[in-house]
Structures are given as C-alpha cells and as structure tokens.
Amino acid sequence: MSTSVVNTSSVTVIGLGPMGQAMAGAYLDAGYRVTVWNRTASRADDLVARGAVRAATVEEALTANRTVVLSLTDYAAMYAILEPAVSALQGRVLVNLSSDTPQKAREGAAWAAKHGARHLTGGVLTPPSGIGSAESDTYYSGPRDLFDEYEDVLKVITGTDYRGEDPGLAALYYQLQMDLFWTALTAWLHTLAVANANGISASEIKPYAAETLGGMSQFLDFYTPRIEAGQHSGDVERISMAVASLDHVVHTTRDSGVDPALPAAVLETFRRGAAEGYAEDSLTRLIEMLQQGPASK
Ligand code: NDP
C-alpha cells in the first residue's frame, strides 16, 4: 500500500508511443485514473477502451492531474507540446521519461521551474514489455524531496534508482548505458552478418555469442580496479596484440563480403593508440587517449 502523501490515484500521461502506452496501461492496471494526450489522438484508442480519459487539449491534460508523465521522443517534443500551454504548468510535477542529453535535461528542468512546475528526469532501462514490472529499472534525478514524495507513483512504471539532485544525472547514466547497449548490440548484428555469410545461422551462433557477451562482466571485474589505480601495464594483453587480432577480424569480414566499417573503426582507434606510443600497454590505456578528444585536434 502507498504511504505517499501525494494523491497517488490519478496521473496524466502525455506521449503514447509504445512506451507511453505501456506506462498508461500500467497505471490503469494499478487502479489509477488516467488522463492521456497524444499528438496522434488515435494512439489513445485502446487505452480509452480500457478506461483512460482522452483529453481534448494539452491544457485539459495538464489541469486534470498534478502528476504528468511525459514519454516523448526527446525534449524538443516536450517544448512543441507544452510551450503553447505553459500557463497550465503551474503546480504540476513533470516526470519526464523522454530520452535526451544531460544538458537538455538540465535546461528542461529549469524551463519547467520558470513556469511553476517541478521536474524529475527519468531514464527508462527497459522496453515496453518491462513496464509495470518491479524487476525493471528507471534512473531518476532531480529534487530528492520530490523523488521521495513520488516514489510510490513512479514504482508503478518500474523499479527506481535515484542518481542525485542534478537533473542531468539520470540522463547521463542512461546515455552511458545506451553507449554500451547500442554498440554491443550492433557488434552482435555484425557478427551475425559474418556468420550468415559463411552459412552459420543466428541460432547456431547464439550460444557462443551469449557466452562471449555474458563473460564481459568478468572483464569489468578484472579491469575496473586496475583502471581506477591508473594501472595500464601490458602484463595480460597489449594494444599491439589487439591491433593484430582486430585486423584478422576486418579481413575475415572483407573475405566474407560483409561491410567491415564497424570493426575497421575500432581497429583505427587501436592503431591510433599504438601510434601514440601505447603499443605495449593494456587496451585500457585507450581511455586516456579517448579523453583527449578527437584525433584531428
Ligand atoms: P516514440 O518516439 O515512438 O514515441 C514518442 C512519442 O513522442 C509519440 O507519442 C509521438 O507522438 C511523440 N512526439 C514525437 N515528436 C513529437 C512532436 N514534435 N510533437 C508532439 N509529439 C511528438 O518513442 P517510444 O514510445 O518508443 O519511447 C519514448 C521514450 O522512451 C523515448 O525517449 C525513448 O528513447 C525512450 N525509451 C524507449 C524504449 C523503447 O524500447 N521503445 C526503451 C527505453 C527508453 P505521435 O504518436 O503523434 O508520433
């Protein structure tokens, strides 16, 4: 049972892409009164059939509830929707679960405050299928008192992970995970393309790919304390070895008739590290090189 002092029984959800629809559905399942608004109004049809109220205007959606969940493509979409209705923002709490940069999140929070609304930034770490489950997580940042007051409301969507007062923090943690997620997922797609070109199916390579990706956490365990200690010695592996190894991957890709651009870009980074004098160091030395900015500088 909720112990929150907020009126937890009603919310407005603005933005009904796959995520917003799942969120509004989770609130309906939890017994909330749900008001919805979406630019393409027909996306609310199923939710209305389940009991949601379709607001005719953005103003109506904002004034219906103190809690307003935003699930939009980015912060530009928020301004496009809310700018014409700013007078209705006074006293609202915007739970902004739209992805964008940390800086955009900070500007969004300041913009909300200027119009009398409070803002919690969120970074949702699950696809729509994980919405409504406590097993899934969402990063939050913004005023601690607001997060504490709203935690029960937020927990209807997913589990919560409060990252700090800076409104940019949830977006930053989210983008850090997206950095890993998109590159790792694309690496897997590249692997599949090479496998398929050689007559190996996705399901045949799956257990091996899963083992390699799953084993990554052991590398994180091993390297993290060394990185934090500034230890990049080549006692386990060297950048020179990585250059040779990845060169084999690029050639295998080319020989398979597959676009090698992805591993070639990584190979270029390794080669730059070697050229800058780190050939005998561990691959982790590349962090320092990357922090110096683009190669063209
Ligand atoms: P979509 O991009 O499919 O939909 C987002 C919503 O934004 C739609 O309701 C769309 O309206 C609205 N929108 C976009 N631009 C404008 C605009 N200029 N004016 C008015 N409305 C606009 O996103 P998702 O539902 O998939 O995701 C929502 C957020 O959650 C995104 O930031 C995404 O990065 C993040 N996310 C998504 C995940 C996923 O698996 N889908 C997983 C984790 C996070 P309309 O329907 O009219 O087009």
> What does the pLDDT look like over 194-206, one tens digit per residue?
999 999 999 999 9
- Tally of residues, the chain: 297
Domain boundaries, the chain: 2-165, 173-291
Q: Which of 13, 14, 19 has most ligand 1 atoms within 8 Å of CB, for mutation?
A: 19
- Tell me how far apart the alpha carbons of residues 96 and 77 are, in angstroms, rounded to a whole number: 11
> What does the pLDDT look like over 18-74, one tens digit per residue?
999 999 999 999 999 999 999 999 999 999 999 999 999 999 999 999 999 999 999
Q: 233 φ, ψ to 5°?
A: -70, 150
As a CATH number, domain 173-291 is 1.10.1040.10
CA dist list (Å): 46 to 23, 25, 36, 98, 200: 13, 9, 11, 22, 42
Going from the Cα of 263 to the center of ligand 1, the distance in angstroms, rounded, reads: 31
Pocket lining for ligand 1, CB < 6 angstroms: 15-20, 38-40, 43, 71-73, 77, 80-81, 97-99, 124, 127-128
- Protein residue whose Cα sits closest to atom 25 of ligand 1: 17
> What does the pLDDT look like over 6-22, one tens digit per residue?
556 999 999 999 999 99
CATH topology of domain 2-165: Rossmann fold (3.40.50)
Q: Measure CA of the first residue to CA of the last residue in the chain; give whole Å.
A: 57
Whole-model pTM above 0.85?
A: yes
| Tokens of residue 168, six digits | 């940019």
Atom number, ligand 1, closest to the C-alpha of residue 123: 44
- Tell me how far apart the alpha carbons of residues 7 and 5 are, in angstroms, rounded to a whole number: 7
Going from the Cα of 125 to the center of ligand 1, the distance in angstroms, rounded, reads: 14
Stretch 167-179: mean pLDDT: 97
Looking only at the bridges linking them, the beta strands covering 93-96 and 118-124 are parallel
According to DSSP, residue 278 is labeled: I
- Give the CA radius of gyration of the chain: 23
- Give residue for tokens 């939009």: 72
> What does the pLDDT look like over 212-257, one tens digit per residue?
999 999 999 999 999 999 999 999 999 999 999 999 999 999 999 9
